[in-house]
Amino acid sequence: MDKAQPVIQRSGGSKMINAIQKTHFMRNKIVFTVALILLQVSSLHAQKKLRRSESFFGFHFDFHAVATDKELGKNFDTLLLNEFLARTKPDFIQVDSKGHFGFSSYPTKVGYSPNSFVQDPMRLWKAAADKHHLSLYVHYSGIRDDEAMRRNPGWARVKADGTRDSTRAGYLSPYSEKLLIPQLKEMIDAYQIDGAWVDGECWAALPDYSQDMQKGFLKETGLKQVPLNEKDTLFEKWKDYNRNAFKKYLRNYTDQLHKYRPDFQITSNWAYSSRMPEPVDANLDFLSGDIAGTNCVYSAAFEARCLALQGKPWDLMSWGFFPLNFWGGTHTTKPVVQLKQEAAETMAVGGGYQVYFQQNRDAGFQTVDVDAMEELAKFCRDRQRFCQQSTIIPHIGIWYSLAGWKEAYRDKQNVYGSMAFNTGMKGITSLLLDAGQPVEILMDHHLKEQMEKYSLIVIPEWVAFDPEIKTQLLRYTNNGGNLLVIGAGAAGEFRNVLEVEFIGEVQTAELITGAKDLGGMAGIKTRWQQVRARKDSSVIGNIFSRTDYRYVTPYAPASINAYRKGKIAAIYMDLSAAQQQYRNPVFNNLLRKIIAQLIPEPVLKVEGSAEVHTVLAKKNDHTLVHLINSGGHHSNEKVFGYTELRPTPMLTVSVRSLRKPKEVILQPYGKKLDAVFSDGYIRFSVPPVAVYDIVEISFN
């Protein structure tokens, strides 16, 4: 037994002890309460649904319901869906509500559906989104709607021959007021959806010859007749009128939906992208587009750069499969390594990323490889803090000429572009990326505002230009800038400032070009402008009459000359088609050599591999060098999938800088790299890149 403890008999001792105990209790209670509040705030923050501007990674599901779909919702496996969402942890999901065929995949009271519901699929998707604290967007087909046009032929676009379109609504028709807007309001009220990804819009737009459209056009232009086809010289003016009508249609429904619910977030698929290269003048909350088909790594690289400077949050969507039939049928799953490459091309220039899988015919979640998608999600999340809300450091800009785009589309019916076009612009972008150049795409409005920030502006085979911008470009060169004109026709537009002799007209010919210091010779069938150099220009490469270095012709494939304080270079043949059909390193080396002479001190130089795409960006005073392994068979149309990607060799990187770095870290691994700072450059070596690595350079 322990000895009894002495009893304290001092006067006031018990009161003092009680006071001390009470003070400790109150202090602990306060600490506990504060900790609990912080925990609750942290939990609420972690569970907060993100707006699209805050989102980075998501999934898209649709299936374009048809009249024969039966027992919708019957086999909807919520357990599989919840496991998928728990493991992949996206920021948002997009699900089908109405596809191109016009049938809604939820029990609508406004539109048309198969009317065969065992369960309400939309309610099941909403429950899953709420459980995982995800924003829920709906996929909704806009202009393109087969069933609405069948039931309401007066809503349909009128063709040039006076007949009605069976698939597309007219811009001025009651379609948006009677169906599109009411249906989206219906889903806002019934399911509290957070937004809509409206499909079948600008890429599906065609001229509308309705009476109201024709009257408006004739009144505005003073013309007596509406052009009927692309052979009419005024057809482009008619397409411009239709473009404005489409944008009014777009602004009307977005404004009405924002008025109905101010926090509703909406976009129109491919609006203000490569297919619509104009300033954003509709109240869209974000921009987005879906990458389909083959060669998607290059497609993602191109499309991302078209969206990056448009001033809106944006993302790109990869199709997670290859369809044997583009509009349906059997699918081949796309391996995760290809999706990682597409994600890399998107994230590196500051965009968000999502992956598309189809739903089952009952609108339910279609089983996908959860292990692969969890791996992809981790790949993206590991790089998110270096990519999201970063900005590209200006260096080389490629001019996306609106006038040139319109000229290229002159013989097309499309009001805006479809996914099959833009091959010239895309091909030159791919060539520059394969030449290791960090490039951005500048539409007219970007170029006007930001031209002086760039070391080099590239004109990629356009033959029509805004004369004001062309004058501004020459003034930029006069003041010390550099200009590279690529293409037989494009070079002719600048003949007055190129120190070469133009011979004859542009012709289509089979050529042999190259040089020993360009890595050999390359055959090419292309449009070509014969030129001879003058004394004030220097020639890059040769044109040969035979595959023999002795048979050099007097014609120059490319030239460089001084223009006041700057320099102008030109390549006198089209290269984009060759890049798309039969890539050859000679063409990449030609570009490298020209650019090296135009910019002897580039902001970024990466040596060691010809299969690395580069992006130079900044975030929070940190410089970021993005290195993407562009290898693989993605450009081979006969290859749908590959699971192996050979790592690059060791890379040597040089970054121009006015400051000595504090540290250089290989991310997302946190590995410190040894770096040397001298002659205004930070130089370091990078281990082989498996898919996509980032070098973070900090200065303080």
Please name which of 518, 310, 315 lies closest in space to residue 400, comparing C-alpha atoms: 310
At 542 the pLDDT is 97
At 583 the pLDDT is 83
By CB atoms closer than 10 A (0-12, 13-18, 19+), residue 36 is exposed
| Alpha helix stretches (DSSP H) within 440-536 | 444-450, 467-478, 488-492
Residues 6+ apart with CB under 8 A from 447: 397, 399, 457, 469, 472, 473
Q: d(Cα 630, Cα 342) in Å, to the nearest integer?
A: 9
Residues 6+ apart with CB under 8 A from 138: 94, 95, 96, 97, 122, 184, 187, 193, 195, 196, 197
Tell whether the model's pLDDT for residue 4 goes beyond 60: no
Q: What is the mean pLDDT of the chain?
A: 91
What tens digit of pLDDT does each residue of 605-642 get?
Answer: 999 999 999 999 999 999 999 999 999 887 766 677 78
Residues 6+ apart with CB under 8 A from 556: 500, 531, 532, 533, 537, 539, 540, 541, 543, 572
Whole-angstrom CA distances from 585 to 72, 579, 582, 609, 688 are 53, 10, 10, 12, 21
Residue 652, strand partner residues: 607, 685
- What the block records as the tokens of 27 is 């202090």
Taking phi over 0 as left and psi of -120 to 50 as alpha, with beta for the rest, 89 belongs to left
Question: Please, how many CA atoms are within 13 Å of residue 32, restricted to the half-sphere of its CB?
Answer: 6
By CB atoms closer than 10 A (0-12, 13-18, 19+), residue 535 is exposed
φ and ψ of 689, to 5 deg: -90, 120
Tell whether the model's pLDDT for residue 177 goes beyond 70: yes
Please name which of 92, 89, 97 lies closest in space to residue 53, comparing C-alpha atoms: 92
At 16 the pLDDT is 40
At 421 the pLDDT is 57
- Cα 215 to chain centroid distance, Å, stands at 37
- Residue 204 DSSP symbol: G
Tell whether the model's pLDDT for residue 386 goes beyond 90: yes
Q: d(Cα 693, Cα 443) in Å, to the nearest integer?
A: 29
Residues 6+ apart with CB under 8 A from 363: 63, 65, 69, 72, 73, 76, 96, 105, 106, 121
C-beta neighbour count of 505 within 10 angstroms: 9
pTM of the model: 0.92
- What the block records as the tokens of 540 is 């890059």
At 165 the pLDDT is 97
What tens digit of pLDDT does each residue of 210-226 get?
Answer: 999 999 999 999 999 99
- Pick 560 or 231 by higher pLDDT: 560
3-state secondary structure of 71: coil
Place 327 in a pLDDT band, splitting at 50, 70 and 90: low
Question: Would you state the torsion angle of the CA atoms of residues 46, 130, 352, 261, taken in this order, to the nearest 10 degrees?
Answer: -110
Tell whether the model's pLDDT for residue 477 goes beyond 90: yes
At 420 the pLDDT is 53
Please provide the DSSP assignment of 390-456 as one string.
-EEPP-EEEEE-HHHHHHHTTT---SS--TT--HHHHHHHHHHHHTT--EEEEEHHHHHHHGGG-SE
Residues 6+ apart with CB under 8 A from 691: 337, 340, 341, 344, 379, 628, 629, 645
Tell whether the model's pLDDT for residue 76 goes beyond 90: yes
Tell whether the model's pLDDT for residue 314 goes beyond 50: yes
Please state the rounded mean pLDDT for residues 356-381. Answer: 96
Tell whether the model's pLDDT for residue 500 goes beyond 70: yes
Span between the terminal Cα atoms of the chain, in Å: 66
At 376 the pLDDT is 98
- What the block records as the tokens of 380 is 């993206």
At 700 the pLDDT is 81
By CB atoms closer than 10 A (0-12, 13-18, 19+), residue 642 is middle
Tell whether the model's pLDDT for residue 434 goes beyond 50: yes
In the block, tokens 């223009």 appear at: 563
Q: Note whether 118 and 70 are within 8 A (CB).
A: no
- What the block records as the tokens of 433 is 């990326």
Q: d(Cα 92, Cα 95) in Å, to the nearest integer?
A: 10
Buried/exposed 46-65: b ≥16 CB within 10 Å, e otherwise: eeebbbbeebbbbbbbbbbb
Please name which of 673, 633, 7, 57 lies closest in space to residue 317, comparing C-alpha atoms: 57
Q: d(Cα 128, Cα 550) in Å, to the nearest integer?
A: 71
Three-state SS across 240-309?
HHHHHHHHHHHHHHHHHHHHHCCCCEEEECCCCCCCCCCCCCCCCCCEEEEECCCCHHHHHHHHHHHHCC
Please state the rounded mean pLDDT for residues 188-195. Answer: 98
Helix (H) or strand (E) holding 213: helix 211-221
Q: d(Cα 151, Cα 178) in Å, to the nearest integer?
A: 13
What tens digit of pLDDT does each residue of 96-148 get?
Answer: 999 999 999 999 999 999 999 999 999 999 999 999 999 999 999 999 999 99
Q: d(Cα 657, Cα 699) in Å, to the nearest integer?
A: 10
What tens digit of pLDDT does each residue of 394-428 get?
Answer: 999 999 999 999 998 888 899 997 655 567 899 99
Q: Note whether 227 and 160 are within 8 A (CB).
A: no
Pairing relation of β-strands 314-319 and 287-291? parallel
Helix (H) or strand (E) holding 508: strand 500-515
Q: d(Cα 314, Cα 333) in Å, to the nearest integer?
A: 25
At 377 the pLDDT is 98
The amino acid present at 28, given as its one-letter code, is N
Range name among 34-43, 104-113, 182-191 with the lowest pLDDT average: 34-43
